[in-house]
Structure 1
């Protein structure tokens, strides 16, 4: 992870302060990138990630914005351009999980879930398409529930589902500038976002559906995103499912 494969490139990481985004920020920095670490409400985590990058000799800056606000998305990219002179890679790891039956879901919950999982993702891709340097890379975080037939996640999986279409359209529209656009859709991840939605029995079920009888780890996903940001730029318009074979079909 210290081969300078991203030397002098600039990466904007949506949700880059902790969990998957935090590890990704540190990995990109170790590869030589200058990293814009976005967070919404986790200032201490973002500052800790930036501090770790700087202590390791890298360059990073933390930026607080609400990505459901289009003006906030634009300000995030403004900061990247103003600070580092441009953007080469944009990765959006943000999202919100809710497991709740359709009959119990409120309008407020629906709006909040689609705001972060669909609207924010759309305008992140849009602004990245406007601001990235030629031959840039745009990567969004989806979910393997896009390929599942299961209950409870109507607003989460439903909110993430448009990413496949956003990705394909953007890949075509940005192709003349050499910008690749992809979505990475992991299986259930072993992070604090997952456990509040599930019972212990369902956690064990999800583990049983994947390779090695375990949940997806952030360490499983970072190399996939890193690949798309480096050697894998010939992939575009794709939704990739690094999920250990997980399925609920």
Structure 2
């Protein structure tokens, strides 16, 4: 059996997901990128990984659709032989005071952030090789309690619960399950809709005095996807010390 590892990264075409895909490829893992709609961005990421000497393919899939997720796992297994690491980086963030939130937006976020994570993790529980790792994405805003984030924070609280329970359910297979909770990170998901003053204020909320970068978060994922075998069932706050 091959000892080379294969990772699947959802939302791997842009932002934190792309940085994670590129970092895992640089670590020597073959990478299957799942993306929702931006084919050009996905192919650009794959091209960058291959140009740097790595292995990658991109597959379009709705992560909340179990049939599409299963087919994507099949395609990645056919390409690389097996699956060892899952990174659920795909996510939607819509901000609004709770009293004003459009419930259709609530359902959209929950479909991707909760159901999508659950569907991918369900497939991962059946497919990931013993000794592998499952890494879900949470958020530091759960601790901050910032106005406007109630629905998003609630969706990520569910991710924390899924991760902690799944870690125990996979007892005996040497598979770790953790969640990474980024703080404010300089990606389109975070920056869109915020004015310069808000961005500056949030960049000063941690003692390091800056926003995180996608590469900062990818470094934490790299640890959990590789040598960090004694970290299990945890939510790791990657936020420069803001909470």
Q: The TM-score by the shorter chain falls in which range?
A: over 0.9
The answer to whether the 8 A contact 1:7-1:32 is kept is: no
Q: Which residue of 2 aligns with 1:170?
A: 166
TM-score (structure 1 length as normaliser) = 0.93
Q: Gapped runs of 5+ residues in structure 2? A: none
TM-score (structure 2 length as normaliser) = 0.95
Say if 2:33 is the partner of 1:37. Answer: yes
Tell me which of 26, 33, 46 is aligned to 2:42: 46
In 1, the alpha carbon distance for the partners of 2:193 and 2:93 equals: 8
Q: Give the ranges of 4+ consecutive aligned residues of structure 1 lying more than 6 Å apart after TM superposition.
A: none
SS at match of 2:189: coil
The answer to whether the 8 A contact 2:89-2:137 is kept is: yes
Deviation, 1:228, is: 0.7
The answer to whether the 8 A contact 1:95-1:117 is kept is: yes
Residue-pair matches, total: 242
Tell me which of 219, 224, 241 is aligned to 2:237: 241
In 2, the alpha carbon distance for the partners of 1:155 and 1:197 equals: 17
Tell me which of 136, 143, 148 is aligned to 1:147: 143
Tell me which of 10, 18, 25 is aligned to 2:21: 25
In 1, the alpha carbon distance for the partners of 2:217 and 2:155 equals: 21
In 1, the alpha carbon distance for the partners of 2:72 and 2:189 equals: 24
Residues 213-246 of structure 1: CA distance to partner in whole angstroms, max 9, x if unpaired? 2111112111111011111021110000010122
Deviation, 1:184, is: 0.4
Deviation, 1:7, is: 6.8
